[in-house]
Amino acid sequence: MPNNDQIYEALQHHLDSSPVGFPATPSGAHLTVLKHFFTPQEARIAASLSTMKLETAAVIHRRLKRNDFKISLDTLREKLDDMARRGTILVYNEGFKERHYKNAGVTAGGIFDFQVNRLSKELVDTFHQYHEEIFARAEMTGSRSIPQLRTIPVARSIPTPEQRRVSTYDDVRRILEDSPVPSPWLTAFAARPRTFRASPAPIPISARPACKSALTTPASMSRWALLVTLVKTKPLRF
């Protein structure tokens, strides 16, 4: 049975085999990061997932059994789902009869980005140390030394504007002008001076016109009116 540091080192090597990579640091900050995200048991499970391929819990369970990791299939499913909820692995449902799992990278849209509501000063400081010590300075990442930034030629031309139009400022104006919001609202707000003013008193429910779209319900009219003011007048003075 490997000790805890060996378990986390094995997970680091495993994650470093992904395209983004997760290189080790001389200070051991990479281990501190992993220990924050994974228990020793979860680290062994994560090291048995694929960094690229989506797999079912049954496939992962067979791999764990070959590595002498004893856990029932039902318990594994519960553990995988819990890890997915905490953002330490990825889970996919769409297009499958059952859930499929794979590793999440640690950086670059990975585990750390899923911790927005669970950040602590200790984690932020440790991750910053890791990033500055190795990841931000590495021209190549991953065990296969893949460049972090690389151009991938696709040998295709860019579609012409007639085929793929890009929205412009005038398009936004047209959307607002064609909006089903009653014109008195738009006219009144668009004609206001450039200085910012609060919305007028709300119109009584009985006096409001019927609205079919959720986007133009009475509750949202003031937001639309303010948006029209921003678009159709000169820059505001605050």
- Range scoring the smallest mean pLDDT among 25-29, 169-173, 176-180, 219-223: 219-223
- pLDDT: which is higher, 159 or 184: 159
Please say if the pLDDT value at position 97 is more than 50: yes
Mean pLDDT, range 96-110, rounded to an integer: 88
Instruction: Spell out the residues 6+ positions from residue 195 whose beta carbon is closer than 8 angstroms to its own.
Output: 236, 237
Name residue, tokens 């190795």.
134
pLDDT at 94: 86
**Residues of the chain above pLDDT 90, percent:** 37
pLDDT at 117: 83
Please say if the pLDDT value at position 14 is more than 70: yes
* Confidence band for 34, pLDDT divided at 50, 70 and 90: very high
Between strands 100-103 and 55-56, the pairing is antiparallel
pLDDT at 110: 86
Tokens of 195: 């200085």
Measured distance CA(97)–CA(56) in Å, rounded:
10
Mean pLDDT, range 102-130, rounded to an integer: 88
Tokens of 136: 């931000």
pLDDT at 161: 63
Mean pLDDT, range 210-221, rounded to an integer: 44
Enter the pTM of the model: 0.59
- pLDDT: which is higher, 178 or 201: 178
pLDDT at 106: 87
Mean of per-residue pLDDT scores for the chain: 76
Please say if the pLDDT value at position 71 is more than 60: yes
pLDDT at 131: 84
Question: Going from the N-terminus, what domains does the chain have, and what CATH number goes with each?
Answer: 4-147 (1.10.10.10), 169-232 (no CATH)
* Confidence band for 219, pLDDT divided at 50, 70 and 90: very low
pLDDT at 208: 46
Please say if the pLDDT value at position 102 is more than 90: yes
Q: Nearest CA to 35 among 123, 135, 118, 148? A: 123
Please say if the pLDDT value at position 147 is more than 70: no
Q: Nearest CA to 138 among 36, 10, 30, 5? A: 30
